[in-house]
Structure 1
Amino acid sequence: MAKSAIFLDRDGVINEDTGYVSQVDDFHFLPGTIEALQLLKKKGYLLVVVTNQSGIARGYFSEADFMNLTEWMDWSLADRDVDLDGIYFCPHHPEHGPACDCRKPEPGMLLAATKELDIDLPSSYMVGDKTADIQAGIKAGVGTNVLVRTGKALTDQGETLANAVYDDLLAFAKSVPTL
């Protein structure tokens, strides 16, 4: 039976977006994030990270650097009773180099997770901090697409496309019904 999921952008939603975060020393969970993720797990949702990582294609850091940081983040959350169900990333450059269906605003990462994890998209949520996150959720068929104010400055377009806007991930988590 298909399950409901919370798709989460990483930078600006889970951690501070200081620009091309690739090292443990530069990764800082946003206030309330761990509590929010714990609450979402208790409410019965799968947690799936979907993150654009063009810093790999730009040569700012390697895929191995990204994987090391991701493993650290995953273990840090697991130590706090938050098991992520999936982590998907797009390493491609937005303008130069291969055209892909995984870089948000395209829905490829969400669709791959849906297939692999048996996700029910209409009962799921996409949480992001920019318009491209919301567009990816809409294209994938995610039922509810929301923005948080903890990352990039919100645009009028993003706020118009989003079903809701929250101050942070914890405010969103408190509003989500239990399954």
Structure 2
Amino acid sequence: MLKKTVFLDRDGTINEEVSYLHKAEDFRFLPGVVEGMKLLYEQGFQLVVITNQAGIGRGYYTEEDAERLHGYMREELRKQGILLQGIYYCPHHLEGLPPYNMDCSCRKPKAGLFYQAEWDMLLEERNSDGKTTAAIHSSYRLTAREEAELEEENRTFPDRKSWLSSSYMIGDKLLDCLAGKNFGVNPILLGTGYGKEELEKAKKEGKQDFSYFPTFLDAVKAIL
């Protein structure tokens, strides 16, 4: 059985929006985020970060830079008693540099990173106290066949459908919400980061098929 999960965008959702953020000294948690993540974690939710990192593909920073930043974020949360189940990132962009200039299966709003997280969570080993034995930091590596198998299982297995209906995607962009919908979890748009602009865009297009909350803590309280 998979545990209920909150998937989280990174920039503009967890931390302040900084153009092509890749240095720990530029990382700032948004107000209420750590408190909200702790509430979710203490109520039994797994926390998984799903983030597009086109700056890697464009050559602005490396995968190693992103991993160092994510290590810093993970450690700061650990100090507050919060375990990130996994951090998944897409380094690709069609206008990027080789080998990253590709039409990938992992860049949101596609759901490849969600399926990768699901795959890892199904295979992970746990200690006797229920904690995972290793932190996951991964890009996308599933084959199309493996992703299709997961999609079919999510569609047909009662326990997996129950897991999806109890899980959420929180982000500050419509592509975050669409990615969550494409995977099958409940999408939430925040008013932080680009969220207010994205909400107005959705209203004009008549496509407000997601929940909206001004802040991360507002969203967490609604989930709980």
Instruction: Say if 1:99 and 1:77 are closer, same or farther in 2 by CA, change over 3 A.
Output: same
Cα distance in 1 for partners of 2:106, 2:219 equals 25
**Structure 1 equivalent of residue 119 of structure 2:** 115
Secondary structure of residue in 2 paired with 1:154: helix
Secondary structure of residue in 2 paired with 1:147: strand
- From the CA coordinates, give the structure whose radius of gyration is larger: 2
Compare relative contact order (CA 8 Å, sep 6+) and give the higher one, 1 or 2: 1
Pair 1:69-2:69 in alignment: yes
Cα distance in 2 for partners of 1:133, 1:70 equals 19
**Structure 2 equivalent of residue 32 of structure 1:** 32
Pair 1:165-2:219 in alignment: no
Cα distance in 2 for partners of 1:48, 1:59 equals 25
**Structure 2 equivalent of residue 130 of structure 1:** 173
Cα distance in 1 for partners of 2:176, 2:87 equals 15
Higher helix share: 2
Cα distance in 2 for partners of 1:164, 1:100 equals 28
- Displacement after TM superposition at 1:38 (Å): 0.3
**Structure 2 equivalent of residue 154 of structure 1:** 198
Give, as a single letter, the amino acid of the residue that structure 2 aligns with 1:124.
S
**Structure 2 equivalent of residue 99 of structure 1:** 103
- Displacement after TM superposition at 1:163 (Å): 2.4
- Displacement after TM superposition at 1:116 (Å): 1.5
Task: Single out whichever of 116-125 and 157-166 deviates more from structure 2.
Answer: 157-166
Pair 1:43-2:40 in alignment: no
> Any idea what the Cα deviations from partners look like across 1:118-173, whole Å, max 9, x if unmatched?
4722221000100110111111111x100001111224454634421011111111
State percent identity of aligned pairs. 41
Return 5+ residue gaps in structure 1 as ranges. none
Secondary structure of residue in 2 paired with 1:6: strand
> Any idea what the Cα deviations from partners look like across 1:41-99, whole Å, max 9, x if unmatched?
01110000000000001111111111101001000100111100011000001545111
Task: Single out whichever of 156-165 and 32-41 deviates more from structure 2.
Answer: 156-165
Report the TM-score when normalising by structure 1: 0.93
Instruction: Say if 1:124 and 1:37 are closer, same or farther in 2 by CA, change over 3 A.
Output: same
Report the TM-score when normalising by structure 2: 0.75
Cα distance in 1 for partners of 2:202, 2:120 equals 28
Superposition CA RMSD, Å: 1.5
The count of corresponding residues between Structure 1 and Structure 2 is 176
Task: Single out whichever of 6-15 and 162-171 deviates more from structure 2.
Answer: 162-171
Secondary structure of residue in 1 paired with 2:55: coil
CA contact (8 A) 1:147 1:162 kept: no
**Structure 1 equivalent of residue 128 of structure 2:** none
Cα distance in 2 for partners of 1:106, 1:121 equals 16
